Amino acid sequence: MSVRVRFAPSPTGNVHIGNIRAAIFNWLFARHAGGKFLLRVEDTDRERSTPEAIQTLLQVMEWLGLNYDEVPVYQAAQRARHLAAAEQLVTSGHAFRENKDGKGECIVFRMPKEGRVEYTDIVKGTIRKKAEDTQDFVIVRSDGNPVFHLANVIDDIDMRITHIIRGDDHVENTFKHIQIFRALGDEPPQYAHLPMIVNAMGKPYSKRDGAAFVGEFREQGFLPQALFNFLALLGWAPGEDREVMTRDEMVALFTLDRCKSSAARFDLKKLIWMNGEYIRQTPAAVFRAEFEARVKADGYWHTDLPAAEVDGIVALVQPRTKFYSEIPGNCAYFFTEEYPFDAKSVEKRLKPAGVPELLEAVAQRFEALPAFDHAATEAALRAMGDERGAGLGGMVHPVRVAVSGLSDGPGLFEMLTLLGRPRVCARLRRAAARLREGTL
């Protein structure tokens, strides 16, 4: 049997991470099995499923690399087929017409009344309930429009879907859908219901917890490969504690029997870490182009910088970058003497008594060094720390803030070497003067 799976979103303008996680699992399953990944746009809600909403969906899928294998199916175009199937069910006695509450005639599907209904879920195992606990349900409304349950099943039949991989909010719907398949004489596909994505409190993850739509993560600077990798791990365990993986590795490893049935916790810190890992793995030339574009956009770039110096800055910045959007703010001090100072860092590291004198003493010590490199600057600060009983840390922090405006960044001694002795000493003295003047 050739695997055929589908992603069947109802586009409304924003694409929730829960929906796109289902798409990722379907895509990985199809690619691993050498099958087909199909797209069905369930656009029967004409007010919300606008051309703009559908375009947003397609753009998100393209950004994440979720390529599909056949021409997309648009559910609204299948309406006549859905209604014909409803008539077939009425004729066979599996459905009946009913006038509900005087609002007009609708078509209702009959659920079994005795025994039990059950199905085997690939992720959750056997799920069953008493037939008496099920209820008949509408499949065509009184306005003549097919209901989701009917349209969903008919489209799956026509698209020859073999496996339905979707969120576990559809567990109850599946009891209904299987009965429709069988009433129409078709064998139901295999089902796999994915665990819910929850927040730190174990509640369903939503907009209240932060970004919840793919577009928001894109705007915040997350890379598509990082978001893809992160979402793939929400409910799937590749084994051997693997986390950062290539797309090919995920395809090779993905199986539904490794999917978890317990809720998947959304850990933003892990996603941020993973984004940084992908940036670190980005080819140097690609990162340099992004770096230059963003520094230019913020007005810091100037063309008289030697290429070797820019390469040195890039080499220091790339390993510490978690978002491309951080780049200008994290490296402005390399390009201008008018770099901003972080207020909290100034208060903590530069405002204590004696810091202006310390900065001037460091400048004097640096100016006397035979060489100005990593080893020499580290030895000088270490010696001064010992002399003052402050240790190396007591020297590193105020010097870093004075020359960069920030309390963290690349290795201090690599940074000092790259900035060069004249700039470093001038900045130390200028920071000391501003502290005395009260302008810092």
Catalytic residues: 207
Residue at 198: amino acid letter: V
Give the CA distances from residue 180 to residues 4, 116, 286, in Å, rounded to whole numbers and listed in that order: 20, 16, 52
Give the Cα-Cα-Cα angle 48, 54, 59 (nearest 5 degrees): 140
Query: Within 10 A of 289 (CB to CB), how many other CB atoms are there?
Result: 11
Round to whole Å and give the CA distance between 54 and 41: 8
Query: Within 10 A of 58 (CB to CB), how many other CB atoms are there?
Result: 16
Beta-bridged to residue 109, according to DSSP, are: 95, 137
Residue at 79: amino acid letter: R
Q: If we measure between CA atoms, which residue out of 262, 287, 279, 192 comes closest to residue 227?
A: 279
Are 406 and 333 within 8 A, CB to CB? yes
Round to whole Å and give the CA distance between 156 and 5: 9
* Beta strands 137-140 and 105-109, pairing class: antiparallel
Query: Within 10 A of 29 (CB to CB), how many other CB atoms are there?
Result: 22
Tokens 């008949």: give the residue: 136
- Residue-wise over 316-337: b if at least 16 C-beta within 10 A, else e? bbbebbbebebbbebbbbbbee
